Amino acid sequence: MTYLTGKHLSRRALIGGAISLPLLDAMRPAMAAPAKAAGQARRVAVVYVPNGIIMNQWTPKGTGADFEFSRILQPLAPFKNDINIVSNLTNPAAGKAKGGGHAKASGSFLSSVPPKYTVGSDVHAGLTFDQLAAKKFASETRVASLQLGCEDSRMVGNCDTGSSCAYTNSISWKDADTPMMVEVNPRSVFERLFGNVDPSLPPEVRARRSLYRRSILDRSLASTQQLVATLGPADRRKIDEYLTSIREVEKRIESAEKDTEVPAMEKPSGIPFQFADYVKLMFDLQTIAFQSDLTRVSTMMIGREGSVRTYPEIGVPDPHHPLTHHRGHPDFIEKVTKINCFHVELFAYFLDKLKSTPDGDGNLLDHSTILYGGAISDGNQHSYVDLPLLVAGRAGGQRGGRFIKAPEMTPVANLFVNMLDRVGVPTEQFGDSTGRLDLNA
């Protein structure tokens, strides 16, 4: 129930000057239409998977609304009406570039600009479409964009046949000369969103300071109680659920930091030992950031290109990248397929979190456009055509529930133009786009 008053709570309101609020009924002017009055925020996200996909296990059967989910995409069946699988998209920029096959792929993926072949500091690629959106929203959010990852994110050195690590370890570029550093530590992400810790401080200094710092939520408790007393039942429930989710994330980070059961290994503070827990924690942080409108743009690299992560928890103890050069070996193909399925299962968790989080007149998934997939289709051949991609979310009136076959060799940048339009960043041309791929046609 919405209480009618002569004033309304600002969308930029904070708890204790530190915690941004989710969208509440009290933020709408009395008697105003919810979506119009709220100035509904729209979000754009990219979830990236490396090393290619077993395409005959990815591609659905049928077309349009009558398609059947493939083995790899099966975990997304509950979200059929919220997603569109798109085929026949290609990245010509990767084919034109020089350098390592993986570096060319990820280095050009979101910009559609061939990266410069270099191992030095003179890296050069292109502005990525997520950062174009981030520039649009920067004045309206505390954090312009999040760049998250679950694997080594060093930006210097040779990571692929004479190509800089900046190309394999980052998919987001602020401009042609500035790759965005990927944050792999959940604690650092949490503090960036909710704390005042200087991210430039050495990790040991930040860790020491955190020992003497009370929980952000504890410090904000008094002001929270004062605010809740002025709200209606629905808003009280929203704030309680929101603060509970933040608290749970903080506790999971603390648990990972205190974990002494793990065998000795190099591991940044706050990273869960189990990979699935790690990825889900990062997805939870993105959800909270979207819910509180701290940011409207995020990219998430489940793995970097050339990743040699092993997955013993799903029966794949072999390193990922070498398996993708399977040369038709059935055992290798099956193991890569298992990895592909596992990644989609984790993505389904993210969609479920977004869909179950209320936001204005719907939920977060209703007001987001999310790209899932990678810059390589066939990892055995480093193919950049018919990329494994899908788009989730309903931002800007996007319909879902279809397998869309675009015209062959359609530039993937045409899809980026569509996604930018969906979040209120009208764009006539981006990268090497030749038009706008209309997913509602």
Residue 327 predicted with pLDDT over 70: yes
What CATH number has the domain bearing residue 142? 3.40.720
d(CA 351, CA 362): 14
Least Cα distance to 47 among 76, 27, 67 occurs for 76
The average pLDDT across 384-405 equals: 98
**304 occurs within a structural domain:** yes
**433 occurs within a structural domain:** no
Of 199 and 225, the structure prediction assigns the larger pLDDT to: 225
Count other C-beta atoms under 10 Å from residue 12's C-beta: 12
Q: Any idea of the CA torsion for 142, 138, 114, 176, to the nearest 10 degrees? A: -100
3-class DSSP assignment, residue 324: helix
d(CA 28, CA 127): 36
| pLDDT tens sequence across 273-296 | 899 999 999 999 999 999 999 999
The average pLDDT across 100-120 equals: 98
Mind giving me the DSSP string for 365-408?
GGGEEEEEE-S-S-TTTT--SS--EEEE--GGG---SEEEEEEE
d(CA 301, CA 169): 8
Of 419 and 2, the structure prediction assigns the larger pLDDT to: 419
Contact 182, 169 (CB under 8 A): yes
**220 occurs within a structural domain:** no
Total tally of structural domains belonging to the chain: 1
d(CA 39, CA 272): 37
Our separate counts of H helices and E strands in the chain read: 15, 15
Q: How confident is the model at residue 212 (pLDDT cuts 50, 70, 90)?
A: very low
**309 occurs within a structural domain:** yes
**336 occurs within a structural domain:** yes
Q: How confident is the model at residue 247 (pLDDT cuts 50, 70, 90)?
A: confident
3-class DSSP assignment, residue 14: strand
| pLDDT tens sequence across 40-71 | 899 999 999 999 999 999 999 999 999 999 99
Burial class (CB in 10 A: 0-12, 13-18, 19+), 232: middle
Residue numbers of the domain that contains 78: 43-184+271-422
pLDDT of residue 439: 96
Say what percent of the chain tops pLDDT 90.
Answer: 70
d(CA 253, CA 311): 22
pLDDT of residue 33: 43
**411 occurs within a structural domain:** yes
Burial class (CB in 10 A: 0-12, 13-18, 19+), 10: exposed
**2 occurs within a structural domain:** no
Strand residues in 143-188 grouped as ranges (E): 146-149, 158-160, 163-164, 173-175, 178-179
**145 occurs within a structural domain:** yes
Residue 37 predicted with pLDDT over 70: no
Q: Which residue has the tokens 């993210």?
A: 350
* Cα separations in angstroms, 17 against 20, 213, 222: 8, 16, 12
User: pTM for the full model?
Assistant: 0.89
Q: How confident is the model at residue 206 (pLDDT cuts 50, 70, 90)?
A: low
